[in-house]
Amino acid sequence: MDTINFTEKFYEKYGNRSEKPVLFFSPGRVNLIGEHTDYNGGFVFPCALIYGTYLLIRKIKSNTLKFSTINFNEDYQTELKELFLNTGKKWINYPLGVINEFIKKGFKLSGLEFLYFGDVPNEAGLSSSASIEMVTAVALNEFLSASLDMLEMVKMSQKAENEFVGMNCGIMDQFAVAFGKKDHAIFLNCDSLLYENVPFILTDCSLIITNTNKRRGLTDSIYNERRSECDKAVELLQAYKPIRNLSELNTEDINILEKYIKDPIIRKRAKHVISENGRVIEAVGVLKNDNIIRFGQLMNQSHDSLKDDYEVTGTELDTLVYEGRKLPGVLGTRMTGFGFGGCTISIVRKADSAKFMTSLSAIYQKKTGLVPDFYQPEIGDGARRII
């Protein structure tokens, strides 16, 4: 969508062509490696995409907030309130949850018109929701002259998602879409929140995202179940070491798990988190040495661990990954994000990329009856004002 067209749609919706709205953008993200580690105080390695959510916003005199989106036919309007309540309309809850966080900090709202447009697929594990939250946060920060720093807005957006939307996510998504940098991935320690931008430029290979087009459905309860399984593991491991989270252990500790955790399910969950942290650290190291082959192997191991130990994959993701690995030029492939549906991410030699997509598409359709989508994303910058 070009800017002129988007602005035209804004005027068609809200009228008054004499006052221009302001344009903000926040990307979606893809996680290269480090899955289900963020809420365990571990390491992640995501990057921001050039796809994301655009927001045109304008102040109005009345005490009304008006929300609309180009993506589907679902408008919402409300008078200003002391605090807003969950509307039951999913996409509206993201901005409203963020607005509540600003109100809780004492900022005074005025009437506003919002028009959103997203070009990152919804519910595909590419953080379309964090993208809506962060674009709203950076816009309000400017419109309410709040002068909050980016990290504060990341925490507010995560809180909106946890408390208002009701999804108990970690901090990775909001952090990645806020702090993304063109051609870089973010090596983030989710405990200290210290991070490093690591160049991620593939010369002979392509980064390919494959969308299973399988909606993950009502799986938030499984996410919470995994979180409590990890808490349980921490509790049991207190007999070994006084740890606050699983990420305080390292790969050498994996062989003590059997002694302290008798339940094989809880043990597998802990093993995934600890081994995945080890893989992220190694992956960042090998990337810095241009060893993309090893990087790919670590991606493969990450998926195997998410399938066998953390059990968050499913037929569609596994079909893409294990069939994909058989194809020529594939260095590594794994699920990315939450799991159960959504997308995989693969590193494929450029010369084999086109064939990879056509062959995998045919195999996947035959095996699952679903048609996959492929994206060859560029890595872009984080949330910001555009004009």
| Contacts of residue 194, Cβ cutoff 8 Å, sequence gap at least 6 | 188
Q: Does 169 bind ligand GLA (CB under 6 A)?
A: yes
Beta bridge partners, 116, equal: 55, 69
Cβ-based nearer residue to ligand GLA, 21 or 27: 27
**What amino acid occupies position 109?**
L
Among residues 101, 113, 133, 173, which is the contact residue for ligand GLA, using CB under 6 A? 173
**What amino acid occupies position 326?**
K
Cβ-based nearer residue to ligand GLA, 90 or 366: 90
Task: For the chain, give the number of residues.
Answer: 387
Q: Map residue 301 onto helix, strand or coil.
A: helix
Q: Does 35 bind ligand GLA (CB under 6 A)?
A: yes
Cβ-based nearer residue to ligand GLA, 35 or 309: 35
Q: How far apart are CA 193 and CA 146, in angstroms?
A: 22
Cβ-based nearer residue to ligand GLA, 35 or 101: 35
Q: Map residue 234 onto helix, strand or coil.
A: helix
Cβ-based nearer residue to ligand GLA, 253 or 276: 276
Q: Does 38 bind ligand GLA (CB under 6 A)?
A: yes
| Contacts of residue 82, Cβ cutoff 8 Å, sequence gap at least 6 | 103
> What residue number has its CB nearest to ligand GLA?
169
Q: Does 337 bind ligand GLA (CB under 6 A)?
A: yes
Q: Which helix (H) or strand (E) holds 46?
A: strand 46-60
Quote the least distance from Cβ 328 to ligand GLA, whole Å.
29
Q: Does 36 bind ligand GLA (CB under 6 A)?
A: yes
Quote the least distance from Cβ 258 to ligand GLA, whole Å.
25
Q: Does 172 bind ligand GLA (CB under 6 A)?
A: yes
Q: Give the interface size with ligand GLA as a residue count (CB under 6 A).
A: 10
Which x/- pattern over 272-311 shows residues binding ligand GLA (rule: CB under 6 A)?
Answer: ----------------------------------------
| Contacts of residue 290, Cβ cutoff 8 Å, sequence gap at least 6 | none
| Contacts of residue 269, Cβ cutoff 8 Å, sequence gap at least 6 | 226, 229, 230, 233, 309, 310
The catalytic site residues sit at 173
Q: Map residue 260 onto helix, strand or coil.
A: helix
Quote the least distance from Cβ 64 to ligand GLA, whole Å.
31
Q: Does 170 bind ligand GLA (CB under 6 A)?
A: yes
Cβ-based nearer residue to ligand GLA, 14 or 175: 175
Among residues 10, 25, 39, 94, which is the contact residue for ligand GLA, using CB under 6 A? 39
Q: Nearest Cα to 27, choosing from 101, 133, 160?
A: 133
Tokens in use for 45? 């390695």
Q: Which residue has the tokens 């994206």?
A: 375
Residues forming the site for ligand GLA (CB under 6 A):
35-36, 38-39, 169-170, 172-173, 337-338
